[in-house]
Structure formats: structure tokens, C-alpha cells
Chain A
Amino acid sequence: MSDILELLVSAASSGCIYGLVALSYLVMIRPTGIINFAVGEWAAVGLFAAFFLLTNRWLPLPYALALIAAVAFTGLIGWGTQRIAVRPLVEKGAPILGPILALLGMLAIFRESISLIFGPDPHNLPAPFGLRQVSLGPFAGTPRDFFIIGCTAAVFVGVWLFFERTVWGKAFEAVALNRKAAALMGINLRRVTVAAFVGGAAIAGFAGVLYSLTAPRDFLMGLPLAVQGFSALVVGGVGRVEGAILGGMILALAEQLTARYADQIGIPSGMSLGVPFLLMIVFLLARPTGLLRPKEAAA
């Protein structure tokens, strides 16, 4: 029994990271329709920026400040990415595939830049609260698991409030529902796109920082994380913020259950690597809107 509860805590913490990556996609897809595969690379940027800020010789920052600065830096990278690879194509009226493919080029640029600067070795952030086991009621886990879960909950509440309670959030929704009508109502599409990419990048950067708390990561971490995050998004549905975290949790739970119990029924436990792909295929084909339906437009 305690075995299962422990598995739940560790699944919840990796589910949180998948959920954050899914949220990063969602923030960009809703208003622009662009699936940005470079989110994994942004996560790597966030992680390596935090690593650099914490451990550099000249001005090592305190932990919390380094994380915030790294997330802000990733947001800046997000602005740069959309300025270079998205805005010129959108303004030229290129089909939506144009920016998506250009962003794949950016993915290669980010990845190689990181490997050029930091080398091929894996890096990780020092754990913020040590590694001893702590218990929270019946749930046992490491402090970092609870740190990841708490931070993710805060981000999701923040983004949910943004979409539901602010004028900017309403503008995002309006653009998602009908781009042309939204523009005619005086919403600045360019600004919404910038906000989507900066916000998406900051979320991805934060996901990368949290991701490195669980294990050392190298410059190749981006693409697998991007795939897992997208799989979570497909499971949960692109329509709603809650979908991202729900998808992340389902994916992480399915992965961990396969990794732990599959060989008891004769499937190699390494097959858990295939779980995100299997879920993605099943949901794309059988339920392309994901588990949660998008809300109907208010009449």
C-alpha cells in the first residue's frame, strides 16, 4: 500500500512537469494555432540559465533569485524566438505550417548552442531542501517532489486566473475563438502573439528548472520532454487549462505503472518509454479534442 502511495507522489511530481510543458504549448496554440516544438529546448534554456546563475564564479545568485531570473530570461528568449521565426512569417501571410517548420529550425539552433556553451555532460541543480524522505499524511516522498507539486499548482492557479479573470485572458480567448472578429473588436493580434510566446517560454523554462531537480539533464533533454508534454496536451485537450495538468497526471501515472508492473505480466518494463506515443496515437485518432471539451462560446 505504501508502495502505491509513494508511486503516486512520484507520478504526481513528474505529471506536474509534463503538465507545465503541456500548458506552455496550450498558451501558444490557443491564440495563434502554432504548435511550437521548441518548448523542450526552452525548458533546457531555463535549466541551463538557472545552472549558470547559481554556479558561476563571478556572481552566484541566491537560489530563489536565480530561478526567477532564469525564468525571466527564458521569457526573453521566447520573445526573441517569436520575433525571428514567427512574426515575419505571420505578417507575410504564410500558412500556419511555415512558423511551425521555422520553429523546428530554431529547435536545432537552441540545442546546438547549449551544447556549444555547456558541453555534452549532464547538469543538475542542487536540490533545494536536501533528499531526506518526508511524509505528508499518508504520502511519503522527497521534499523536491512536494516542491514541484506546490510550484506547479501555483502556476496553474495563476494561469487559470489570467484566462478567467483578466481582460488580457479574455482577449486570448477571443482570438482563439475568432481571429478576425477579435482583431475587428480592437484586440492587438501582434501583442497577443508576443504575450503568448513570452508566457509560454517562461512556463517552459520553469518546467525545465523543476525537471532538472529530479535527475541530471544534458542538452538533449528538450525533444523527449517536448514529446511527453505534447502527449499530455493531446490527452487532456487543447481547449482548457485544466486539461494540461489532467493529461500530465494521466501520462505520468501510466508511465510509472508500466515501468513498475509491466514485467509482471510479461511486457519488458522499458516499454514504459512507449506509453506517451501510444497515448498520443490513441487520443489523436479516437478523441482528438482530448478528455475535456473546450467551453462553448458564450452567446
Chain B
Amino acid sequence: MTRAAPWLAAAAAMIAVAFLLKDFGYYSDQYRKLMLWVALALGFNFLFGIAGQVAFSHFAFYGIGAYAVVILTFKAGLPLGVAVVLGLALCAVLAIAVGIAATRLEGFYLALATMAFAQLFLVVLTEGGAVTGGAGGIANYRLPALELGGRRFTLTGPYYTSLIALVLLATFFVFWRLDRSYFGRACRAIRDNPEAAAAMGVDVARTKIVVFTVTSVLAGAAGMAYAFVDNIVNPPVFGLENVFLLLFMVIIGGSGRHAGAVVGAILLYMLPYVLTPLIGHHQALVFGIVMVAAMLFRPDGLVGVYDRLRARYGRGAA
């Protein structure tokens, strides 16, 4: 009971916000997207910050999830539940294939190979003709009605926002549990020293493939939730710019820490609202400066700054 309480409280709070915003369409929309960014950042943090893999394919899997659910539901005419399961399976199969290939690559070469994969995905989307809708993507679809116990209902407005909140919490829960397990410790060991980890009996290749698959499938799940936020999927949303932004979020927030991913994602998502009146649409300039500053002065990010302040002035100082 006590262990479930914080999770239930978080779910209640996030759902409450969803209902508070239900009459403010714009803010409700932003809230949904913010939650999806946080979910993506948590996954990217696990992959990059905890397991030490620099993979630029995270947004491609987000896109694969989104496109898969739309194509399977509206082009192939499958029921939504089947489409979701098949889409997740597709993400898993692709992630395992990429992950197995990627175990042969180290450091930034992994980043480049996954980036090439992500860009190839975009080219396929753009040239996919009728199946993917080409450069314009697929639009004009709506979340189909669900049937439960003979009653049909559609998740709209705050109910759909609540669903996204639950997806985010489930993502967080999976990564939180994984991090505190043997598996999470194995990941950190591989990040810090793969040879030593192997010598201690960690199966390096298998752990790397599993990490890549789990994070990619959860990115795909977030992508499925995204598909019904704007009710349009098109290639630019899943481009390389966004995965750089994800990297900046995790590093500025504090890589290797769940709190860092959450703080970084919220900060960089909200920052443009403050910056646009000041410098127009050049927020990326500020992101770049903050990113370089973080790498130079505080590689452990904002969470590291907080830890320091608490160590100096907080209860732990005595």
C-alpha cells in the first residue's frame, strides 16, 4: 500500500490537471505533448544516461509506433487493439534487428548508424506513396470507438489526456523498476566499463540489445499515443532535430537520473514560451549555449547542481 501510494497520487494529480485544462484546448494540447516529451526523455535517459548508448533512433521508433497504429487501423482496417499489439511487435522486431547489428559498434559510431537508420526511415516515409501518405503524411482520422462489455465509447478531451498521463506513468514505472534491478546495475556497469562488466559475468551484448529494445518499444508506445493527439502523422515530426533536442534535454537535466530527464524535458519544452517574445524563433541558439555550458561546467546537469546546493545548505550539511 505505502509503495503504491506515491504512484496513485501522481496519477491522480496528473489526471486532475487534465480535467482542469479541459476547457482550455490549447493548454490541454500542450500538456499532452509535454507528457509525451517527458516519456521520451525518460526512455532516452535510460538508453543514453544509464546504459551509455548514444542512439539517435529514438524518435524514429516514436514515428514507427505512430505510423504503424495509423496505417494498421485505417489502411489495413484492423481493430485498434490488434493494431496496437502488432505495432508494438513491429517496433520490437525492428529494435532487436537494429540492436543486434549495433552491438558491433561502439561510442559515436553507434550514434551514426542509428542516425542513418532514422534518416532512412524518414526517406521511406516520404517516398512511401499511398501507404505512408508521402511528405504530407496521413491526416483526417479519429480515434475509433472502443467496445467494452457491449458498450461503445470514445476517449476524447480530458479522458484521452488522462490516458497519456497513464502511458507516461507506466513508462516511468518500467524504467524506475528496471533501474533498481540487477538489469539496471548491469547497464550502469557496461556504461562505465564494458570489459570489467563482462569479467563480472554480465552478458554485455544481450544487455545492450534488451536495453535498446525496451526503450525503443516504449518510444513506439508513446508514438501511438501521439498519433491521436494531432490526428495527423507526417515525416517532419520525427526528424533529426527532435532527437538532438531530446539529447539536450537529458544532458541539461542531468543524464543518468530520472529526475534529470523530467526536469530537462519540462524546462526545454517550456523555455520557448519565455524566449519567443525575446528573440523570436531562435530558441535553439539558447539551447545550444546551455548545452555547451552544461558539458563544460556541469556534466551532471541541473540535478547535479541541486545535489550540490542541498549538500552545502540542506539537512545533509551538518
Q: Residues on A close to B: CB < 8 A?
A: 35, 84-85, 88-89, 94, 96-98, 100-102, 104-109, 111-113, 115-116, 223, 227, 230-231, 234, 268, 270-271, 273-274, 276-278, 280-281, 284-285, 288
Q: Which of B168-176, B220-228, B280-288 contacts A (4 or more CB under 8 A)?
A: B280-288
Interface string of B107-131 (1 = CB under 8 A from A): 1110011011101100110110100
| From B109, B113, B127, B289, contact of A270 by CB (8 A) | B127
Cβ–Cβ contact B299 & A274, under 8 A: no
Give, as a whole number of angstroms, the nearest-CB distance from B253 to chain A.
14
Residue of B nearest to A269 (CB): B127
- Cβ contacts under 8 Å, B113 to chain A: 280-281, 284-285
A84 to B288, CA, bound (A): 13
Cβ–Cβ contact A105 & B291, under 8 A: yes
| From B104, B115, B129, B282, contact of A112 by CB (8 A) | B282
Cβ–Cβ contact B282 & A106, under 8 A: no
Cβ–Cβ contact B244 & A108, under 8 A: yes
**Residues A230 and B299 in contact in the complex (CB < 8 Å), given A105-B248, A274-B124:** no
Cβ–Cβ contact A89 & B295, under 8 A: yes
- Cβ contacts under 8 Å, B199 to chain A: none
- Cβ contacts under 8 Å, A88 to chain B: 296
Cβ–Cβ contact A98 & B295, under 8 A: yes
A115 to B115, CA, bound (A): 24
Cβ–Cβ contact A280 & B116, under 8 A: yes
Cβ–Cβ contact B107 & A97, under 8 A: yes
Is B305's beta carbon under 8 Å from chain A? no
Cβ–Cβ contact B123 & A101, under 8 A: no
How would you classify the secondary structure of chain B's contact residues: helix, strand, loop or mixed? helix
Is B240's beta carbon under 8 Å from chain A? yes
Cβ–Cβ contact B292 & A105, under 8 A: yes
- Cβ contacts under 8 Å, B282 to chain A: 112, 115-116
Can you list 18 residue pairs at the A/B interface with Cβ under 8 Å? Answer: A35-B108, A89-B295, A89-B296, A96-B108, A97-B54, A97-B107, A101-B291, A102-B295, A106-B292, A109-B288, A270-B126, A277-B119, A280-B116, A281-B101, A281-B117, A281-B120, A285-B113, A288-B105
Kindly name the residue among B54, B112, B285 whose own CB sees the greatest number of chain A CB atoms within 10 A: B112
Give, as a whole number of angstroms, the nearest-CB distance from A21 to chain B.
14
A98 to B251, CA, bound (A): 11
Cβ–Cβ contact B287 & A108, under 8 A: yes
- Cβ contacts under 8 Å, B117 to chain A: 277, 281
Query: How big is chain B's contact interface, by range?
Result: 35 or more
- Cβ contacts under 8 Å, B116 to chain A: 227, 231, 276-278, 280-281, 284
- Cβ contacts under 8 Å, B263 to chain A: none
Cβ–Cβ contact B284 & A101, under 8 A: no
| From B54, B115, B123, B248, contact of A273 by CB (8 A) | B123
A110 to B57, CA, bound (A): 24
- Cβ contacts under 8 Å, A227 to chain B: 115-116, 119
Give, as a whole number of angstroms, the nearest-CB distance from A279 to chain B.
9
Residue of A nearest to B240 (CB): A223
Is B92's beta carbon under 8 Å from chain A? no
Residue of B nearest to A84 (CB): B292
Is B247's beta carbon under 8 Å from chain A? yes
Give, as a whole number of angstroms, the nearest-CB distance from B59 to chain A.
14
Cβ–Cβ contact A96 & B112, under 8 A: no
Cβ–Cβ contact A274 & B123, under 8 A: yes
- Cβ contacts under 8 Å, A111 to chain B: 284
Residue of A nearest to B285 (CB): A112
A189 to B19, CA, bound (A): 60
A230 to B290, CA, bound (A): 26
| From A98, A109, A223, A274, contact of B120 by CB (8 A) | A274
Give, as a whole number of angstroms, the nearest-CB distance from B254 to chain A.
14
A95 to B144, CA, bound (A): 50
Cβ–Cβ contact A109 & B292, under 8 A: yes
- Cβ contacts under 8 Å, A97 to chain B: 54, 107-108
Residue of B nearest to A106 (CB): B292
Among all A-B residue pairs, the 9 with the closest Cβ atoms: A108-B288, A105-B291, A112-B285, A109-B288, A274-B123, A105-B292, A277-B116, A102-B295, A277-B120
A229 to B285, CA, bound (A): 24
Cβ–Cβ contact B101 & A104, under 8 A: no
- Cβ contacts under 8 Å, B119 to chain A: 227, 274, 277
Residue of A nearest to B101 (CB): A285
Residue of A nearest to B297 (CB): A88
Interface string of B195-225 (1 = CB under 8 A from A): 0000000000000000000000000000000
Cβ–Cβ contact A105 & B299, under 8 A: no
A284 to B244, CA, bound (A): 22
Give, as a whole number of angstroms, the nearest-CB distance from A186 to chain B.
29
| From A104, A112, A231, A285, contact of B247 by CB (8 A) | A104
Cβ–Cβ contact A270 & B112, under 8 A: no
A285 to B113, CA, bound (A): 9
Residue of B nearest to A231 (CB): B116
Give, as a whole number of angstroms, the nearest-CB distance from B267 to chain A.
15
Residue of A nearest to B113 (CB): A284
Question: Which B275-318 residues have a C-beta within 8 angstroms of A?
Answer: 282, 284-285, 287-292, 295-296, 299
Give, as a whole number of angstroms, the nearest-CB distance from A165 to chain B.
31
Cβ–Cβ contact A104 & B244, under 8 A: yes
Cβ–Cβ contact B104 & A285, under 8 A: yes
Residue of A nearest to B119 (CB): A277
